[in-house]
Chains A and B, each alone.
Chain A
Amino acid sequence: MKLVKLFSIVCASGLLGGCVSSHPQNAQEFRDAVPGAFTAAFETYTVNRSFDDVARTFQKKAPECLNVRIKTTSQTNMSYQVIVTKYNPTVHVTNERAELHVQQDHEKGVLNVTKKPERGYYLMVVDAFPAGTNQTKIDVYRPKIGYKHVTQAIRGWATGDNLGCPDLAKI
């Protein structure tokens, strides 16, 4: 688990696509970078729920569940480490698209090797589009390693089947 967390932190801190000198500074740059990134993936699916309902759920659940600060303390006989991470969700809704951005800001314990966007590095971008009567298409740009339960929770919000929050202390 600690290896996954360390790997995820390093990837989310700027090594999207191997050795890079910059990190996506906004959601669109993140979407554009994912196809060519070794550590990121794209997936898409459709849910049987209206776009308006999906957007409303994102607007409700994202701040409720993802606006979280996590402090992790790890100690062995050889090391002591404290990492504080603030997760910052943003939801933008128009008639054409509902966007959910999740950003990750390591406030303590992690060295940022690239320029950090305001509110932190982009961890995940989820787009919802109307796809017919009571159907919504969901595009997910996400890390390839770790955070599976985060994408699973967001899928639950989109389908309406599970409105629970992902345990961000369990990355």
Chain B
Amino acid sequence: MVAVAVLGACSGIKPYPNSYDKNVRIITKTDGSFLSSVRTAVDIYRVDNTCNTIYQGTVQLRGPTTLLGLPYDQPVYLTFVFEGSSFLANSQSSITYETMFRPEPNGYYEFDVTYADKIYGVQMRKALADGDGWTNVDSQPLVDC
């Protein structure tokens, strides 16, 4: 996982088309105040058969819930970006949480994306086939491709 602290706006960001059937629900909870805030987004990359990542777009996680459509049975690389700014310190920083992910056909997933007290996390879970509960999904590094 690589994290970069930046002072300034990012360029080259494009919205993710989000045209596939919505098979992921992202639940976002971040702390913040008038003086400091944390913005979250997820960059989505397609992973080709040589494990190269090709940027597909970014989804801003503005509301408490975001529905996302990812292609079934194709590996994607997700980079969750937590970008913080402090009004008084006049500073910005960002850190990322990255994982490979391969949605199963007809699978439905929930991601809990959290940032509180300078601790961030992404917890993934998959709905059980019988609809009675969830099972946790572990993150996977790109090297496991």
Contact = CB atoms under 8 A, between A and B. Distances in A.
Nearest to A166: B119
B4 A71 contact: yes
Interface in A97-124: none
Contacts of B118: 149, 166-167, 170
B119 A167 contact: yes
A65 B97 CA distance: 8
Interface stretch (A19-27, A39-47, A128-136, A157-165): A157-165
Nearest to B138: A60
Contacts, number: 74
Interface string B1-36: 111111100000000000000000000000000000
A70 B3 contact: yes
B119 A75 contact: no
A168 B95 contact: yes
Interface size class, chain A: 20 to 34
A156 B120 CA distance: 12
B93 interface: yes
A19 to B, nearest CB: 30
A60 B136 CA distance: 14
Nearest to A72: B5
Contact of B123 (A70, A71, A163, A166): A163
B3 A1 contact: no
Contacts of A2: 89
Contact of B117 (A73, A75, A152, A163): A152
B120 A73 contact: no
B119 A1 contact: no
Nearest to B117: A149
B56 interface: no
B86 interface: yes
Contact of A169 (B94, B97, B138): B94
A169 B5 contact: yes
A153 B119 CA distance: 7
Interface of B: 1-7, 82, 84, 86, 89, 91, 93-95, 97, 114-121, 123, 138-139
